[in-house]
Chain A
Amino acid sequence: MFEDYIPFFIQLAIASGLSLTLLKGGELLGPSRPNRIKIMPYESGMDPVGSARQRYSIKFYLVAMIFIVFDVEIVFLYPWAISFQDFLAAGVGLEVLGIVIVFIVILAIGLIYDIKKGGLEFD
């Protein structure tokens, strides 16, 4: 069992070893002569203005609400979709579809509320 994975571990060792060696080698062997132009974020671009660290609200609770809406939807729709064939076979496919539509409408109300409260407006 474990023997099967030995090539994988060799590959892992080579990949990490190579990247670490190259990084460290570049730092040790390469000349380091920084000047003001070189250390600018965009070497050939515009001169930076002000600080890059600006504070702005990401409206975390509204973003989290959008996440919850879709997250809950997926969690319940997967098992429903898998057992839908059984309900079709039992002849109640349309009714069960109706129940899920009720569920999605309830979630959609949450989404509508979120969008109206500015959940997708970033400023």
Chain B
Amino acid sequence: MELSQAYTSLLSDMGHTIPLILIVLTGLVIVLLDAFKPRHVSIPYLTALVLAVALGLEIQTIGSQGGTAYYELIRVGGMAAYVNAVILTSGLLSVILMKPYLERIDHNIGEAYALLLFSITGMMVLGSANSLVTIFVGLETMSICLYIMTALIRSHKGAIESALKYFLLGAFSTGFFLYGIALLYGATGTMMLPEMRGAVAVSDSDTMFWAGLALLLVGFMFKVGAAPFHMWTPDVYQGAATPITGFMSTASKTAAFASLILVLYYAVPAETWNGVIAILALITMIVGNVIAISQTNLKRMLAYSSIAHAGYVLVGLSAGTGAGYSGALYYMLVYTFMNIGAFGVIAFMEFDGKEGSEQRLDSLAGIGYKKPVLSVCMIFFMFSLAGFPPFGGFFGKIAVFAPAIDAGFIWLAIVGVLTSAVSAYYYLRVLVVFFMKQPDGVYDFDASPVPFSATAVIVLCAGVILVLGVAPSIMEVTMSFFSSSITTTAAVLP
């Protein structure tokens, strides 16, 4: 590296990461604003505005050829822009849902928005990393912010408990992850993902490399909540504030899956590991869907459902082809709208005073006639999560199952479809309770009207799911990220 060139190349690369810089700066501004004027009214609006601007900038660059910036540490354009756009969408929708929710429980503190922005920063770095160090920095920035956001409602014991569990297990999995990085570096002599591919031959029985890759996979599987590393998911999702749960379950998973795709696509040859991913996908789909049946709490049920969906995405990854990866990316987009919407609906239906963490599904009986708009949207989300056409979830499942069949994992696709049929039971039970059951007691029902902004976001999510189901042409966009050969994508942008 020529030292005299370092500064100019740094400045020119900043132009490619404007959304990232914008979000970091806004996070810092909000920290200062909150220090001098606690709970200032402008904080949520500022957050939403900046997220919208960053989202617009990222969407504009999706079509461009992917490249790298900052000495090939981070990827920009193309797939990175798509992943960042999904993350920013999740963040923007979550902020709009968070504001009325946090105001209702009197926790509308500025730190919540600053942490949201900082965690989005981490996710964007994680989802567009081109080096193992970048992955680690992004992962930790994201995780630390999420630990704190889980414990946002300090007075609630359940939130503290879930945050502590999340923190301890997360720190443990970070240890695995870091050890994996160390071994991979020791085996290949490089931190850069594309360079790693050439460093190890497929037939090579280099124990250090495979041990490193296994440990790295453990770290990733923890972050995406795949079985058998899923134990934290139900407790954490149940204890956190509901819109934050929606944000965690979508944006952090999108970032972790994108990062995993980058590792698998660039760093390791597909035919060597896709059996492992297939087995993990099998376990994850079965565990998530079967345990979700017996849940009585809606948030906990959706947590197990999110484990199951991680399994579906892993089916796409196990194919080891560009079609599989693009299917997984498409699935994450659909999943983001489905889950933000579903968590948004239950955020404005809960009335147990404990952020819905101890509310039984039965207590929501007949709510479909008291909150009709949200409940009708819930029909969209539940059918889409179960994978019924004409909703986005159906095409998402096609996009991940079809490449797996092409790659020879027919048994995996069969299990996937069977477990989807199982999932229809617990998704549709929600609708049965909402519309066809009478409450078996008198509940302290929260009759206050749902704020317009939240209703608008939930209706928007339902509409987007329908659009994605009717016109799934965005799959062509995700497909294009993997069409060009690997060697050309590492070029530095002009």
Contacts and interface: CB of A to CB of B under 8 A. Distances in A.
Contact of B7 (A86, A92, A112, A117): A92
Chain B, interface residues (CB within 8 Å), range: 10 to 19
Contacts of B6: 87, 92, 96
A10 B389 CA distance: 84
A113 B7 contact: no
Interface in B3-34: 3-4, 6-7, 10, 28, 31-32, 34
B35 A92 contact: no
A12 to B, nearest CB: 37
B3 A109 contact: no
A113 B35 contact: yes
Contacts of B452: none
A86 B28 contact: no
Contacts of A15: none
Contact of B3 (A92, A99, A106, A113): A92
A107 to B, nearest CB: 11
* Chain A interface mostly: helix
B35 A90 contact: no
Contacts of B2: 90
A91 interface: yes
A116 B3 contact: no
Contacts of A109: 28, 31-32
A71 interface: no
A90 B36 CA distance: 42
A99 B6 CA distance: 11
Contacts of B3: 86-87, 89-90, 92
Contacts of B4: 90-92
B418 to A, nearest CB: 48
A117 B32 CA distance: 11
Contact of B35 (A91, A99, A117): A117
B36 to A, nearest CB: 6
Nearest to A83: B3
Interface string A62-90: 00000000000000000000000011011
A116 B10 CA distance: 34
A68 B333 CA distance: 37
Contacts of A95: 7
Given A90-B3, A92-B4, A96-B7, A112 B28 contact: no
Nearest to A110: B31
A89 to B, nearest CB: 8
Best-surrounded residue of B2, B4, B7, B10 (most CB of chain A within 10 A): B7
Nearest to A113: B35
Contacts of B35: 112-113, 116-117
A119 B4 CA distance: 41
A99 B9 CA distance: 13
B23 to A, nearest CB: 14
B366 to A, nearest CB: 44
Given A92-B4, A92-B6, A92-B7, A106 B28 contact: yes
Nearest to B35: A116
Nearest to B110: A113
A8 B7 CA distance: 52
Contacts of B32: 109, 112-113
A116 B34 CA distance: 9
Best-surrounded residue of B2, B3, B10 (most CB of chain A within 10 A): B3
Interface in B391-441: none
Contacts of B34: 113
A116 B4 CA distance: 40
Nearest to A90: B3
A92 B1 CA distance: 14
Interface string A89-115: 111100110010000001001101100
Nearest to A61: B148
Contacts of A87: 3, 6
Contacts of A86: 3
Contacts of A106: 28
Interface in A44-68: none
B25 to A, nearest CB: 10
A104 B385 CA distance: 46
A116 B31 CA distance: 11
A51 to B, nearest CB: 29
Contacts of B7: 92, 95-96, 99
Closest 3 CB pairs of A and B: A90-B3, A116-B35, A95-B7
Given A87-B3, A92-B3, 16 more contacts: A86-B3, A87-B6, A90-B2, A91-B4, A95-B7, A96-B7, A99-B10, A109-B28, A109-B32, A110-B31, A112-B32, A112-B35, A113-B32, A113-B34, A116-B36, A117-B35
Interface of B: 2-4, 6-7, 10, 28, 31-32, 34-36
28 contacts: A86-B3, A87-B3, A87-B6, A89-B3, A90-B2, A90-B3, A90-B4, A91-B4, A92-B3, A92-B4, A92-B6, A92-B7, A95-B7, A96-B7, A99-B7, A99-B10, A106-B28, A109-B28, A109-B31, A109-B32, A110-B31, A112-B35, A113-B31, A113-B32, A113-B34, A113-B35, A116-B35, A117-B35
